[in-house]
Chains A and B, each alone.
Chain A
């Protein structure tokens, strides 16, 4: 109660300052007068009486001051005064202010936008029911040839886990596929990304369709009638968001399906490319769902309450071990991996995001150091003013507060600007980093806002506190005693500036090193020899629906006809077809054995990547024939029992003998045999991995129904995209074409994230370098100005100009050298942390460190040379008079 009252009267005091001040004046004057009158009565003279009265009363101004403190809102009043002073002194130097605000805006802006991304991607909870109990399951170390902790799960193993594992409440399998959508009255057939899933996936995630119903156990059965659930995107786009689509029949790969539901708009699991969901057991042949060797499912599961992922993992490990004892030779994981779903979704981008977060942290730190440095420099010119005020009773806190207010004004202006910057850049960031998972959960929310405010405040304190301390340190009277001719002036302050600069240089070097490593790595990636032609190659994806092209001969005929027609186009140089394009991923491998060799020990198997290619593919793509021959056009269907292997496959499996003429027995249905007739050069399936042993089979064998057409021309090959699509439509109007891309685009796609990281960090590093150079220049100019007098004396006493110049230069380069060393060491340490992002570069690449060192040194010398030159030009006569 009395608290509110106090505030009320204080508020009154705050707003009626002038009247109350007059009242106080009158009251005190009256008191003094009465005291003096009393004294006169006692026999003093007028003057004696008055001074005795004042003595008795005590300090009038102190009384007023403490009275005022009580009366108004002294905190607010001085704060407003500080703000006014701050504004005035900032506006007086618009250059300084603009640089400081821009620097801070940049620092705060990039931090906010990256925080928003990191927060959305890494930390916001998944939008599912009790997401902390959701996990991803993988088979681990499937084959010794391709060891990986994250192998997709086979139907048989999924069954084992569902049956035997007690750690899980439920488990759902997800398989990837694509389908040809037609027969719904839509304008054109369309290839859409589809996913198979166990019927319990949606209830397990807690997702309810916005229209219709989820799958039931009845739908998820071999032989059930076809059902499909549409994603929101497809429903909006193709069916104009019409709820009446529920119950309608559509054709997927020419088979009919009933639409039973539409998913909510926010649902984008496991990625946003999925357009429709189908029940897995309805789609997959029964034998595939039982095979332990046919791997194709992402498995998502819900842990029982209280079970940790580690416990679940050891249970699955044990199941896998038993499987291997029971069925030696199956291609099943030797163990399993259980990963919280939230982690699984981001495991590819985590390091990269953390690295970028670290980089922008450095940028902000540098910005703060720079502003602090500017403040210290400025405080130097005001040291006498501050000393005088301190001597007159200005409290240290009061003086520091002024400095802090100024730095807060700057940082908050920077923060506001940075906030806008962040808002604009996030959209760009999300658009650029297409591979970013969970992009939907990235938005500027309250957390981002709080972060901006917190970072801004922190920067304000950081940039203000050091200068404030240094400006108001204990020996306040020193500057007063220093006259303009004293030589050692402001030594502590100079030391502080050097320290700030050293840290700034160190951080800059750290950023530059990181940028250097990432750039080199990116360059390596880009120049990685894919092993085939990449310039002016157009590709487009095709997938023949199994229902319509049931027989092998139908498939082969289609491909033959297609290639014939495409090759006949005027200006077309070459055309070919391959099941999986280079640099487009591993995608498919299979186990095999080599005829004539002793059988392998149980549990062991040979494994290699599988590709199908038409006879002209290799020549069309400039894949060199090393030995033997390619397929021929005449080898068709059962006569196409030949294989071509890659160089690395020859080295790996035929180290001591000639592979040509040997026979591969592939573990497909019927164990077909293929004679090796040729060896071709290696082609990378992943740019950042060494070539994988690969075996090619003829497209004319008739097993493969999907892949990509590759075409080359002497003119711009992109102009063929439309004519080819029209040709395909003439052959089969229901057959959609997907992913019309050039090889450059495919390579660009797979290196986009590396490019993004490298360019961003480089940008930050260049920024840091500029700031450091400006800082160095400022420090040295300041030193020279401060020492003009001293330099003059030295020169008058006979010092040489070159000597002076060298000394000044060294003065400026010392903080650089120390910062450089620290930065290089820190860079080495951080390089280890980001080694998973590096390709073809060792974390301790000497050239990069040397280059960074040299660059920083040259820039520093450049920044220091003008002040040093000025020092050498000092005229002793003028200098000695210098005030």
Chain B
């Protein structure tokens, strides 16, 4: 469970998914997984299966919604897109994440300096 192995921290997956949908527009689950893989350059080890419960949770909270569409291989696929509430949530979470990360880096530097 050491975080160094690049496992997704609880809660960060939500932020990642929201940001992905914000950046790329409507995507199906596979697309989101690929995007995460691509961006993290394999630093983040994600069991792609865990994405689906996360998507459902976000949808239940009203931050994303889903629609059935047709995929690249001409199959039925479920496309997820960001809602207005989701956009707001993303902004809020991004801000808090930044505050936190700034705090962490200040803290860590401070410790090194001492």
Contact = CB atoms under 8 A, between A and B. Distances in A.
Interface of A: 2, 5-6, 9-10, 23-24, 26-28, 30-31, 33-35, 37, 56-60, 62-63, 66-67, 69-71
Q: How large is the interface on B (under 10, 10 to 19, 20 to 34, 35 or more residues)?
A: 20 to 34
Contacts of A37: 73
Given A35-B48, A67-B52, 5 more contacts: A30-B75, A31-B29, A34-B30, A56-B48, A58-B47
Contacts of A23: 78
Given A5-B62, A6-B61, A26-B76, A31 B48 contact: yes
B73 A33 contact: yes
B75 A63 contact: no
Given A31-B30, A34-B71, A70 B47 contact: no
B56 A71 contact: yes
A57 B46 CA distance: 8
B113 interface: no
B49 A58 contact: yes
B30 A67 contact: no
A27 B52 contact: yes
Contacts of B61: 2, 5-6
B13 interface: no
A289 B77 CA distance: 102
Interface string B24-66: 0000111001000000000000011110110011011110000
Closest 3 A/B residue pairs (Cβ) = A58-B47, A63-B49, A58-B49
Contacts of A27: 28-29, 52, 77-78
B109 to A, nearest CB: 37
Contacts of B52: 24, 27-28, 63, 67
Given A27-B77, A27-B78, A56-B48, A67 B71 contact: no
B56 A70 contact: yes
B74 to A, nearest CB: 11
B77 A60 contact: no
Nearest to A63: B49
B84 to A, nearest CB: 14
Given A63-B53, A67-B56, A30 B62 contact: no
Contacts, number: 67
Interface string B64-86: 00000001110111100000000
From A6, A10, A27, A35, residue with most partner B Cβ within 10 Å: A27
A69 B73 CA distance: 30
B60 A70 contact: yes
A34 B77 CA distance: 11
6 contacts: A27-B29, A34-B30, A35-B30, A58-B47, A63-B53, A67-B52
Nearest to A37: B73
Contacts of A69: 53
Contact of B50 (A2, A58, A71): A58
Contacts of A67: 52-53, 56
A35 B31 CA distance: 10
A681 to B, nearest CB: 91
A98 B8 CA distance: 54
Given A30-B75, A33-B75, A60-B49, A10 B30 contact: no
Contacts of A6: 60-61
B33 A31 contact: yes
Contacts of B29: 27, 31
A27 B29 CA distance: 8
A34 B30 CA distance: 7
Which among A37, A59, A67, A69 has the highest number of chain B CB atoms within 10 Å? A67
Contacts of A26: 76
B50 A63 contact: yes
A24 B29 CA distance: 11
B60 A66 contact: no
A70 B61 CA distance: 12
Contacts of B78: 23, 27
B60 A9 contact: yes
B40 to A, nearest CB: 14
Contacts of B33: 31
B48 A58 contact: yes
Given A2-B62, A27-B78, A70-B60, A34 B73 contact: yes
Contacts of B28: 27, 30-31
A30 B47 contact: no
A34 B78 CA distance: 13
A60 B49 CA distance: 7
Nearest to B78: A27
Contacts of A33: 73, 75
A26 B52 CA distance: 12
Contacts of A59: 47, 49
A195 B78 CA distance: 88
Contacts of A9: 59-60
Contacts of B47: 57-59
A67 B28 CA distance: 16
Given A10-B60, A67-B56, A70-B56, A30 B77 contact: yes
A71 B29 CA distance: 17
A542 B71 CA distance: 107
A33 B57 CA distance: 24
A494 to B, nearest CB: 41
A453 to B, nearest CB: 34
B77 A62 contact: no
Query: Chain B CB within 10 Å — which of A23, A24, A34, A58 has the most?
Result: A34
A70 B51 CA distance: 13
A435 to B, nearest CB: 64
B37 to A, nearest CB: 9
B80 to A, nearest CB: 10
A6 B52 CA distance: 17
Nearest to B76: A26
A37 B50 CA distance: 21
A58 B52 CA distance: 12
A59 B48 CA distance: 9
B60 A5 contact: yes
B7 to A, nearest CB: 12
Nearest to B29: A31
A63 B53 CA distance: 7
Contacts of A28: 49, 52
A56 B49 CA distance: 8
Contacts of A24: 52
Contacts of B72: 34
Contacts of B62: 2, 5
A33 B33 CA distance: 14
B60 to A, nearest CB: 5
Nearest to A23: B78
A30 B76 CA distance: 8
Contact of B30 (A30, A62, A70): A30
Contact of A70 (B48, B57, B75, B77): B57
Nearest to A65: B53
B91 to A, nearest CB: 17
Interface in B77-108: 77-78
Nearest to B47: A58
Nearest to B68: A23
Given A27-B78, A31-B29, A66 B48 contact: no
Contact of A57 (B48, B60, B71, B75): B48
A63 B46 CA distance: 13
B73 to A, nearest CB: 7
A6 B62 CA distance: 9
A356 B71 CA distance: 76
A37 B28 CA distance: 16
A668 to B, nearest CB: 94
Contacts of B73: 33-34, 37
A5 B60 CA distance: 7
Contacts of B50: 58, 63, 66
A5 B57 CA distance: 12
A713 B65 CA distance: 100
A62 B28 CA distance: 20
Contacts of A10: 60
A56 B30 CA distance: 12
A41 to B, nearest CB: 12
